[in-house]
């Protein structure tokens, strides 16, 4: 049985599991990185929290069923504990859940299960009945908070944000509850598929602003403040840059001077300016939108280059 390192000392910031876990190695433990918050990350003095930490450190990181057992223990220990302690306990649990998710992804091929049949039907869209073994695997994933996702035709296992919200929101603080519910909403709605946006322009704008407002309301005092900031920066980047298959520029013309702003981003920018005029997001996007409306190619290029200098891509470029 493979056990976890002591989680208060080796907190690994594994915020989710999905597309990136397809390629992430699991032979070596993730490098420990502490969240950089002004407030203490952990409620060290709480003896119940320390008891839970010791319990989690002894669980098998290669057993999906351990996730359900850990939740049962969490609910037993933290029913009457302060919200701050519950937040920390969830953080500890989520590290464990993320490691299990990574392990399951890495060993999908060994299961000899046709996972694609969980998601897709035949050429006519008809779903094939799951075998007894497939049903057992699906039940195990559901019971322990995992679900299947796909990217470019490849199926992978990811954490179910709905499951996490359902299990923990009754215990954690108000900011953590908001965070978990928003993550669950976004996972259900989706965002992109094969480098093309799959949500409505207005939803995209609202989602970006939601993270901006959440960060303002919880500056550096929230355990997942770095993840919240990462979410906002990623959405802001895509709102300005677009994606390969959902471009800011309306393609089909030979050069920028003959081109125009795509309808998708015209709607997103117009909605942002109308509904969220006082936000930092609109302050950044508005000059770009105005340049496009005037078709001032020099200004379009200048604003975009300035944005790229000040904001790294979600891939750190």
- Residues 8-51 have pLDDT tens digits of 433 433 334 443 333 333 344 333 333 333 334 455 568 898 89
Q: Does residue 141 carry a pLDDT above 60?
A: yes
**How far apart (Å, rounded) are the C-alpha atoms in residues 269 and 296?**
17
pLDDT, tens digit, 9 for 90 and up, residues 263-276: 999 999 999 999 99
Average pLDDT, stretch 269-284?
Answer: 98
Within 8 A by CB and 6+ apart from 257, the residues are 295, 297
What pLDDT sits at residue 111? 76
**How far apart (Å, rounded) are the C-alpha atoms in residues 87 and 116?**
35
Percentage of the chain lying above the pLDDT 90 cut: 62
Percentage of the chain lying above the pLDDT 70 cut: 81
Q: Which of 205-214, 257-266, 286-295 has the lowest mean pLDDT?
A: 257-266
Q: Does residue 64 carry a pLDDT above 60?
A: yes
Q: Does residue 110 carry a pLDDT above 90?
A: no
Within 8 A by CB and 6+ apart from 70, the residues are 55, 56, 59, 93, 96
pLDDT, tens digit, 9 for 90 and up, residues 189-222: 999 988 899 999 999 999 999 999 999 999 877 8
Whole-number average pLDDT of the chain: 84
**How far apart (Å, rounded) are the C-alpha atoms in residues 288 and 305?**
11
Residues 159-169 as b or e (16 or more Cβ within 10 Å = b): bbbbbbbebbb
User: In terms of Cα–Cα distance, which of 214, 162, 205 is closest to 183?
Assistant: 162
Two tokens, residue 250: 């309306």
Within 8 A by CB and 6+ apart from 31, the residues are 12
Two tokens, residue 110: 């060994």
Is the Cα torsion angle 160, 71, 110, 132 positive or negative in sign?
negative
Q: Does residue 317 carry a pLDDT above 80?
A: no
What pLDDT sits at residue 257? 57
Two tokens, residue 164: 């996490």
Is the Cα torsion angle 155, 124, 244, 299 positive or negative in sign?
negative
**How far apart (Å, rounded) are the C-alpha atoms in residues 58 and 8?**
13
Give the burial class of 146: count Cβ atoms within 10 A of its Cβ; 0-12 exposed, 13-18 middle, 19 or more buried: buried
Q: Which of 54-58, 132-136, 243-247, 268-272 has the lowest mean pLDDT?
A: 132-136
Contact 152, 192 (CB under 8 A): no
What is the three-class DSSP state of 196?
strand
**How far apart (Å, rounded) are the C-alpha atoms in residues 181 and 15?**
15
What pLDDT sits at residue 313? 82
What pLDDT sits at residue 262? 94
What pLDDT sits at residue 115? 76
What pLDDT sits at residue 256? 58
Average pLDDT, stretch 65-91?
Answer: 94
User: In terms of Cα–Cα distance, which of 162, 195, 147 is closest to 17?
Assistant: 147
């Amino acid at each position: 049985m493979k056990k976890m390192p002591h989680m208060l000392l080796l907190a690994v910031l594994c915020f989710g599991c999905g597309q990136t876990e397809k390629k992430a190695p699991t032979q070596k433990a993730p490098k420990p990185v502490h969240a950089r918050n002004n407030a203490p990350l952990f409620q060290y003095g709480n003896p119940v929290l320390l008891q839970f930490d010791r319990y989690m450190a002894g669980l098998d990181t290669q057993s999906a069923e351990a996730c359900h057992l850990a939740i049962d223990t969490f609910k037993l220990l933290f029913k009457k504990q302060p919200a701050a302690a519950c937040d920390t306990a969830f953080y500890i649990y989520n590290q464990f859940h993320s490691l299990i998710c990574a392990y399951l992804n890495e060993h999908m091929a060994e299961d000899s299960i046709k996972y694609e049949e969980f998601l897709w039907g035949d050429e006519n869209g008809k779903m094939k009945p799951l075998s007894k073994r497939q049903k057992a695997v699906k039940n195990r994933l559901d019971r322990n908070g995992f679900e299947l996702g796909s990217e470019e035709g490849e199926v992978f296992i990811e954490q179910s944000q709905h499951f996490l919200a359902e299990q923990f929101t009754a215990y954690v603080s108000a900011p953590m509850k908001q965070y978990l519910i928003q993550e669950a909403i976004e996972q259900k709605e989706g965002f992109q598929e094969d480098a093309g946006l799959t949500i409505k322009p207005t939803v995209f704008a609202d989602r970006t602003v939601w993270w901006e407002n959440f960060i303002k309301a919880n500056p550096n005092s929230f355990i997942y403040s770095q993840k919240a900031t990462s979410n906002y920066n990623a959405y802001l980047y895509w709102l300005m840059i677009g994606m390969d298959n959902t471009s800011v520029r309306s393609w089909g013309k030979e050069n920028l001077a003959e081109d125009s702003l795509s309808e998708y981003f015209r709607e997103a920018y117009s909605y942002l300016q109308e509904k969220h005029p006082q936000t930092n997001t609109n302050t950044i996007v508005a000059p770009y939108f105005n340049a496009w409306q005037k078709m001032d190619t020099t200004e379009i290029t200048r604003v975009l280059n300035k944005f790229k200098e000040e904001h790294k891509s979600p891939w750190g470029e």
